[in-house]
Structure 1
Amino acid sequence: MPYGRLSLHMAPSFRLESTETDRLVAFSDAVIAIAITLLVLELSVPTLPAGSTVAVLPTVIAEQWHEYLAYLLSFLVIALYWVLHRRVFIHIDRHSRGILWFNLLFLLFIALIPYATGVFVTYPSQLGVVVYAVMLALTGFSLTLLWGYASRKQLIEAGLASRTVEIQAARFLASPILLLMSAVIAVFDPTIAILSWVLLVPINAVFESRLIASLEDSPIESETPP
């Protein structure tokens, strides 16, 4: 078949593919669900010292605090990134090869979070904190790239206010910037770096309130599910 005729036959299928985002979202949800489930494997069953009684079990469990912290934080961060990823595809009504590859980059880092959690659990000091924070930051930056590409290529729904697009971009950037800063802090004091992660909660709450206010200002956006 001549190339020109082949292109004519393929063009409609490419147009149809660009509007089909259900499989992309379903695949992403599956990868995120697997990653968040694998986190529990990093929790080890406490081992009692030889010759000790079960009475020391609470102490042994307490000594594993970094494992529980890593599990809880990783669960919450992956959950947050899932919420933000969902927000991205609520507003994207078509996609391109660029969207596919940026989404796969995001999933690549999501899949590595259980590994980073394992490093942090094994080395809950400078090395573990730096690796963990950098991996979470790269995940956030990849999601920011996905949103930036979609908005720049005008793949998001028509009528979405530019202010909402900017708030979304700022929110996507906020968490990874904080995490990257904590990685730098960890070089000098890992404990302060870990404590700085608490700031993720108020920072995301502030951006969430601003985003809701922006959505309420737009008739088109107010119909979008929260």
Structure 2
Amino acid sequence: MALPFRPESEETDRLITLSDGVIAIAITLLVLEISVPTVPDGTTAAVVPDLVAEQWPEFVGYALSFLVIGLYWTLHRRVFAHVERHDRGVLWLNLLFLLLVAFVPYATSVFVAYPNGFGIAFYAGVLALTGFSLALLWGHVSRKRLLEAGLTSRTVEIQAARFLISPIVLVGSAALAQFDPTLAVLSWASLIPINAVFESRLVASIEESLTESENQPH
């Protein structure tokens, strides 16, 4: 007689729901950190456009953090698209990832308030740690064989490289910020083409794995 409940290791839906909720709250907090400018006494509302324009660092910080959290959500989704079951290690590593994601709004505020060497390095460091936590999660599920059957070792390796490349670039920018803060911020733009290249390679590898699986005799 089958047990009337699923094994705990297969109950990943609650874990994913918690993760999506924390990420959604973190993204929402980003925009809540942007304050509405106050018109100084003795002036008219005509100065509001200028006051809003002066907030451009806050808008840049919001957009950057939104995109990075969105990227990490995409990668997190990719992890659990291939995970068939989990263990205690997955639970704790996922909580570590959520801990760091929830800290991103504060790091964004520091970056906006102090866009110098320290502020940039602090911001990039938090984002890098968040990315490394995802890489640890992927490494754990692949090492413990918690992934779905059919994924080739090449696919797993490409995914691992993709998890690592963004935090590595961010760590490099944190070091660069001590010498040239502007160049450090501009280096973040390299994440777009780099991730695009890894995504195309990953998709090609997954399609190749599916083709090989379909061609195998049953």
TM-based fold match above 0.5: yes
1:96 equivalent among 69, 79, 87: 87
Q: Is the 8 A contact 2:135 2:160 kept in 1?
A: yes
Q: Which amino acid aligns with 1:217?
A: E
1:141 equivalent among 132, 137, 140: 132
**1:86-165 equivalence runs, <5 A:** 86-165=77-156
**1:179-194 equivalence runs, <5 A:** 179-194=170-185
Count of residues paired in the alignment: 212
Q: Which runs of 5+ in 1 are unaligned?
A: 1-11
Does 2:18 correspond to 1:27?
Answer: yes
**1:1-226 equivalence runs, <5 A:** 16-219=7-210
The DSSP-based 3-state class of the residue aligned with 1:25 is: helix
Q: Which amino acid aligns with 1:19?
A: E
Q: Is the 8 A contact 1:42 1:121 kept in 2?
A: no
Name which of structure 1's ranges 15-24 and 130-139 shifts more when overlaid on structure 2: 15-24
Deviation at 1:52, TM superposition (A): 3.9
Percent of residue pairs identical: 68
Q: Which runs of 5+ in 2 are unaligned?
A: none
Deviation at 1:200, TM superposition (A): 1.1
Q: Which amino acid aligns with 1:126?
A: G
Distance of aligned partners of 1:221 and 1:90 in 2 relative to their CA distance in 1, 3 Å threshold: farther
Q: Which amino acid aligns with 2:97?
A: F
Distance 1:222 1:192 in 2: 46
The DSSP-based 3-state class of the residue aligned with 1:47 is: coil
Deviation at 1:159, TM superposition (A): 1.7
Distance of aligned partners of 1:103 and 1:220 in 2 relative to their CA distance in 1, 3 Å threshold: farther
Q: Is the 8 A contact 2:23 2:69 kept in 1?
A: yes
Distance 2:47 2:163 in 1: 44
Q: Is the 8 A contact 1:216 1:222 kept in 2?
A: no
Q: Please give the per-residue CA displacement for 1:22-49, whole angstroms capped at 9, x wherever unaligned.
A: 1111111111111111111111212344
C-alpha RMSD of the superposition: 2.1
The DSSP-based 3-state class of the residue aligned with 1:219 is: helix
The DSSP-based 3-state class of the residue aligned with 1:155 is: coil
Q: Which amino acid aligns with 2:179?
A: F
The DSSP-based 3-state class of the residue aligned with 1:187 is: coil
The DSSP-based 3-state class of the residue aligned with 1:119 is: helix
Deviation at 1:13, TM superposition (A): 10
Deviation at 1:125, TM superposition (A): 1.6
Distance of aligned partners of 1:89 and 1:130 in 2 relative to their CA distance in 1, 3 Å threshold: same
Q: Please give the per-residue CA displacement for 1:113-149, whole angstroms capped at 9, x wherever unaligned.
A: 0110111121122221111000000000000000001
Deviation at 1:92, TM superposition (A): 0.5
Length-normalised TM-score, structure 1: 0.88
